[in-house]
Amino acid sequence: MRTFVYTSRPSRVVFGSGTVGRLREEVERLGRSRVLLLSSPPLAEASARVREALGDLVAAEFDGAVMHTPVEVTEQALAVLREASVDCLVAVGGGSTTGLSKALALRTDLPQVILPTTYAGSEVTPVLGETRDGRKVTQSSDAILPETVVYDIDFTSTLPVGMSLTSGVNAMAHAVEALYSADANPVTDQQALDAISRIARALPRLAADPGDPGARADLLHAAWLAGTCLATVGMGLHHKLCHTLGGTFDLPHAETHTVVLPYAMAYNAPAAPDAMRRIAEALGTADAPSGVHDLITSLGGPTSLRGLGMPESGLARAAELAAATPYPNPREVTAEGVAALLSDAWAGRRPI
């Protein structure tokens, strides 16, 4: 018998193709009529489709979302929001745009409807990481969790194969760490294994045919499941390490997750044999860490921190930071252990 605690989070999910057409009724369902539409310049076309779907519900727009949710950008958006007497937030974009929406919801308690265009999974979590004076601080609260998510696979078709791979592995990392989390439970386990298996099957299909709608659907479905894992149970060494590397060395989010995941898994493997066996089974490989590494390599993804621009001189500092505060992880996190992990990840050696 297994003893566990499970807390579900209230979030309404609409999933499919062409679901952008449901946005208007989703906003009205929340009893709202004055939308602030959030986006970023690279997603101007996607934002135009959302604007068209919302019609006269759009009261104002802000297209300045950037990575890591700097508070100065949130304050600019807040001014637009107040000027237009907005009563609902609609965001179209990846984790960065969702982050801006969450930062605004935290300050105003306005409801959020998110249309995600990557596989980061932030849209189903109550977590927000904000950057103030160059420091990223993470907090969690019910006010941050978006009310409604409209997943429309059509909006992911423009995500290039390389970014789909790194974003897909970002999602896989949530699922992997959920399986050996101290809070692991049977519900999250099933979601995590389903997510890993969908991602492992979809990525090679997408590389062969970037327009494959079935592969896109599997990846977006997996992003939802993996994001739900991230929202429900605590993450371990991999997420702490990526947070440190991203925050201290300004490394790109999804790419850093992609490089670090096989090494964090190899570090934890001796202390989490059952989770690794189940992950390998979901991947369809004999071994979990090298299976993830080989999947990334076979699709031409990033495999070394050196390749992401991480200076070798920063490895010792990163290891110290990652081991400075204790947190639940299957294997004890020591500065020496993390230094060895980072040395392998920096060079891109295949984990064994």
Residues in contact with ligand NAD by the rule CB under 6 A:
40, 42-43, 67-68, 93-97, 99, 117-118, 120-122, 125, 127-129, 155-156, 158-159, 163, 167, 230, 253-254
**Residue among 93 and 351 whose Cβ is closer to ligand NAD:** 93
CB 144 within 8 A of CB 127: yes
The helix (run of H) or strand (run of E) holding residue 264 is helix 253-268
Residue nearest to ligand NAD (CB): 95
Closest CA to 97 of 170, 46, 135: 46
Residue 109 DSSP one-character state: -
**Residue among 162 and 337 whose Cβ is closer to ligand NAD:** 162
Smallest distance, ligand NAD to C-beta of residue 167, A: 6
Whole-angstrom Cα distance, residue 145 to residue 147? 6
Smallest distance, ligand NAD to C-beta of residue 107, A: 16
**Residue among 63 and 294 whose Cβ is closer to ligand NAD:** 63
Smallest distance, ligand NAD to C-beta of residue 95, A: 2
* C-alpha dihedral (262, 267, 273, 274), degrees to nearest 10: -60
Compute the radius of gyration of the chain from its Cα atoms.
20
Smallest distance, ligand NAD to C-beta of residue 38, A: 11
**Residue among 176 and 276 whose Cβ is closer to ligand NAD:** 176
CB 128 within 8 A of CB 105: no
Smallest distance, ligand NAD to C-beta of residue 3, A: 27
**Residue among 125 and 268 whose Cβ is closer to ligand NAD:** 125
Residue 234 makes CB contacts below 8 A (sequence gap 6+) with 181, 182, 183, 327, 328
